[in-house]
Amino acid sequence: MNNRNQGQSNRQQALTPTPAPTPAPTVSHMNVFTVDEYERDGKTQKRWTKIGAAFPHKEGSGFSIELKAFPVDGRLVVLPPDHADDRNNK
């Protein structure tokens, strides 16, 4: 193969379309937790309690939050569901 053919081959490779990246899955809701710190055997540990869910507004930015309990300290943690955790499927 001479240099002229090599240039055509490189151009053909450059023109080959690359597949578009797959879009990230849309999140239908977020889980709402309260986190309590406590000490056990001299070590500080955390207890995560799911107390509700947050749902995105259909019209755009913002969330509706539904709580089954209120945190004592006023702190909420909102995270996407962990699909590996089968407790989310209940």
If one counts every other C-beta atom within 10 angstroms of the C-beta of residue 78, the result is: 14
Q: Is residue 54 part of a domain?
A: yes
Q: Is residue 58 part of a domain?
A: yes
Residue numbers of the domain that contains 58: 31-78
SS3 sequence, the chain? CCHHHHHHHHHHHHHCCCCCCCCCCCCCCEEEEEEEEEEECCEEEEEEEEEEEEEECCCCCCEEEEECCCCCCCCCEEECCCCCCHHHHC
Q: Is residue 10 part of a domain?
A: no
Written as six digits, the tokens of 11 are 């151009």
Q: Is residue 63 part of a domain?
A: yes
Show pLDDT as tens, one digit a residue, over the chain (90 residues).
555 555 555 555 556 667 777 665 566 899 999 999 999 999 999 999 999 999 998 888 899 999 999 998 999 999 999 877 655 544
Q: Is residue 15 part of a domain?
A: no
Q: Is residue 48 part of a domain?
A: yes
> What is the pTM for the complete model shown?
0.62
Q: Is residue 21 part of a domain?
A: no
Q: Is residue 2 part of a domain?
A: no
